[in-house]
Amino acid sequence: MATDSPMFTVFIPTYNRAGLLPRALSSIEAQTFRDFEVVIVDDGSTDDTAAVVARWKARVEFPVTYVKQNNQGKHVAHNKGVELAKGRLFFNLDSDDRLLPDALERIWRQWEAIPEDGRERFAGVEGLVLSMDGKRLLSNPYPHNPLDASFLDVRYRLRVSGDKKHAIRTDIARRFPYPVFSGERHVRPSMTWKRISHHYVFRCINQPLQQVEYQPDGLSSDRFRLRMHNPRGFQLYYLEDVTMHRPWLSRRQLRRSMVDFIRFSFHAGTGLLEQARLTRFDPLWLMMLPAGCGRWLVDLYRLRFRKGYKPNRKATRN
């Protein structure tokens, strides 16, 4: 089955996870479907990650690519992984998670079940996740199995929430890289999936693909710090909500997104005239301006009492 272009690229972004990384690597070895390569992007680890990967690479039979970059954030590592990928489908496996043994086989079977003449409109296959002990679903199931729908439809119209894992066509992932802002190390992952939704759907299945474990020092462990250190990424995220993705949002969601756009615009140093221009002089911007300014002032008040939390006003987009 193996070809010069493998079916899957299993991509692992990692940062100081030498102790947990072997769990993820072992789950790749255990896959029942064998037509894949592995790409690991080390986002500037200072532990033994390189040695762990080197020992593993020396004993496995499938291709493994390891690169190390300066610490720039998971989204930059993702962009690099997509650049290096040779597989037709790109699967992201976090370094502290674990693939179920038949995960790639399940995805492959679902992908092959899509008629070839209709496959162009599909971005990939998406499934559910389990807790690390395997006892709890951490995803709300889809209303139909399978369900062919975009991320925006699943989240906002069908209101299916919870963590999901998917394999995406590598060519599409290359067309939709994460934006990178100088001095910032985080962009919300759903920014890309929302953009893709305007063009493609996923084959969504009520089958678990991966077991996950949320670490105490993970990205979501301190949301306030994450937001304050990455204002331009959040500003763009909410700007796209109130412009590009507006038809999917309820009135309440639209108001909240506009408030957050104003809030993070102030943190990013974007003045009122530029905010108005970015929102295309939307009357809703003017209506929500007091609330957005209020949220910004509350953030500034909190910042006074938390050392090391300084808005990144000088960040610029690359």
Domains along the chain with CATH numbers: 8-219 (3.90.550.10), 222-304 (no CATH)
Res 209 pLDDT > 50: yes
pLDDT grade for 220, boundaries at 50, 70 and 90: low
pLDDT at residue 110, rounded to an integer: 98
Q: Of 173, 222, 234, 229, give the one whose Cα is nearest residue 202.
A: 173
The angle formed by the CA atoms of residues 93, 98 and 99, to the nearest 5 degrees, is 75
Mean pLDDT over 159-173 rounds to 96
45 within 8 A of 18, measured Cβ to Cβ: yes
Q: Write the DSSP symbol of residue 313.
A: T
Under 8 Å between Cβ of 67 and 80 = yes
Query: pLDDT value at position 218?
Result: 57
- Res. 221: pLDDT tops 80: no
Which pLDDT value is given to residue 317? Answer: 34
3-state secondary structure of 182: coil
Please check the confidence at residue 306 and state whether its pLDDT lies above 70: no
The mean pLDDT value of the chain amounts to 93
Q: pLDDT above 70 covers what percent of the chain? A: 93
pLDDT beyond 80 at 310: no
Using the predicted structure, report yes or no on whether residue 194 has a pLDDT greater than 50. Answer: yes
Confidence of residue 305 (pLDDT cuts 50, 70, 90): confident
In this structure, what are the phi and psi dihedrals at residue 268, rounded to the nearest 5 degrees? -85, -5
At 227-281, the pLDDT tens digits run 999 999 999 999 999 999 999 999 999 999 999 999 999 999 999 999 999 999 9
Q: What pLDDT was estimated at residue 315?
A: 39
Contact 7, 35 (CB under 8 A): yes
- pTM of the model as a whole: 0.91
CA-closest candidate to residue 36, choices 91, 80, 82: 91
Using 50, 70 and 90 to split pLDDT, how confident is the model at 318?
A: very low
* Peptide linkage before 231 cis (omega within 30 of 0): no
Q: Is 65 helix (H, G, I), strand (E, B) or coil?
A: strand
Where residue 4 falls among pLDDT bands split at 50, 70, 90? Answer: confident
Rounded distance, CA 86 to CA 62, Å?
A: 13
For residues 184-197, average pLDDT: 96
Q: How far apart are CA 293 and CA 277, in angstroms?
A: 17
Q: Which of 15, 18, 77, 78 is CA-nearest to residue 45? A: 15
Task: Check the CA dihedral 142-148-151-155 and report its sign.
Answer: negative
251 backbone dihedrals φ, ψ, rounded to 5° = -60, -40
C-alpha to C-alpha distance for 36 and 61, rounded to whole angstroms: 11
CA distance 318 to 301: 30
Local confidence band at 172 (pLDDT 50, 70, 90 cut-offs): very high
**8 Å CB contact between 5 and 32:** no
Tokens encoding 191 = 């920014």
With pLDDT > 90 as the criterion, what percentage of the chain qualifies? 89
